[in-house]
């Protein structure tokens, strides 16, 4: 399999890249820092004991002008693209976002608008081959929740977009995988107190790779979150207000 990963130098994306490389997939890394990309590509080759990193390209989710050139470079290096994985995203706590509306604007733009635009750039590479578009959303987008109102809104929009793509293009061969992690212990959540059921990047990456192989439209990870959110989605609003979840 040939895999392009946006966000493959850190956290969940790095864990996905390592799992794909370990089983022999050819991996092309996209990210915003050229030095990080080079180190991550070298790490994949060393771990695999052979050349598995097909290349890297700078692709900054904050700069849509980088999307098309980065994907074109990946297609040239790989020949064909079987799978595109998007793990890059922005995060800030609700209190930080409420104090800084400019920060809020950036988060909403990156997590929703720019991620959708990147996916629209990627879709033409995948559709003719029956490829897979796998994007990390969040359980935070399943229900309006007090601690993650703004972050959750950005992920809710992303999840709806991915569901719409799946409805429209699954029959044409495109497989869309929407990944909904709970809290994951990564650099993005450093300094925050992990809640119950917090996941590790490699655990989440394992679930992501399995979902890609199976073409699972929606995957919760760790798996316990499927049950948790099944319950949460069915709670009356009055109960949600009281529990503050």
Which residues are marked as active site? 151
The candidate with the shortest Cα–Cα distance to 134, out of 25, 22, 24, 245, is 25
Q: 3-state class of 40 per DSSP?
A: helix
Place of tokens 């990309």: 37
The CA distance from 71 to 185, in Å, is 29
| Residues 85, 89, 94, 97, Cα dihedral to 10° | -150
Q: Please give the backbone phi and psi of residue 32, each rounded to the nearest 5 degrees, phi first.
A: -90, -10
Query: Which H or E run includes 201?
Result: helix 201-214
Contact between 20 and 1 (Cβ < 8 Å): yes
- How far apart CA 165 and CA 176 sit, in angstroms, is 7
* Cis peptide preceding 222, ω within 30 of 0: yes
Cα(157)–Cα(146) distance, rounded to whole angstroms?
17
How far apart are alpha carbons 120 and 88 in whole angstroms? 16
Cβ atoms of 182 and 203 closer than 8 Å: no
Q: Which two tokens stand for residue 146?
A: 């007090």
């Amino acid at each position: 399999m040939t895999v392009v990963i946006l966000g493959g130098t850190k956290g969940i994306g790095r864990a996905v890249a390592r799992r794909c490389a370990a089983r022999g997939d050819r991996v092309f890394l996209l990210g915003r820092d050229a030095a990080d990309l080079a180190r991550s590509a070298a790490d994949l080759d060393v771990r695999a004991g052979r050349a598995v990193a097909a290349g890297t390209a700078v692709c900054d989710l904050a700069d849509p002008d980088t999307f098309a050139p980065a994907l074109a470079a990946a297609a040239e290096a790989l020949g064909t693209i079987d799978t595109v994985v998007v793990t890059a995203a922005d995060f800030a706590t609700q209190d930080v976002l409420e104090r800084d509306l400019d920060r809020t604007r950036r988060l909403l733009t990156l997590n929703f608008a720019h991620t959708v635009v990147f996916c629209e750039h990627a879709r033409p590479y995948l559709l003719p081959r029956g490829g897979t578009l796998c994007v990390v959303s969040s359980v935070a987008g399943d229900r309006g929740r007090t601690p993650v109102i703004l972050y959750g809104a950005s992920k809710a929009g992303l999840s709806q977009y991915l569901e719409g793509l799946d409805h429209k293009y699954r029959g044409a061969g495109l497989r869309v995988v929407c990944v909904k992690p709970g809290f994951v212990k990564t650099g993005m959540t450093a300094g925050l107190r992990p809640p119950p059921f917090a996941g590790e990047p490699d655990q989440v990456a394992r679930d992501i790779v399995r979902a890609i192989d199976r073409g699972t439209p929606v995957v919760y990870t760790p798996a316990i979150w499927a049950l948790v959110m099944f319950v949460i989605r069915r709670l009356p609003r009055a109960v949600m207000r009281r529990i503050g979840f």
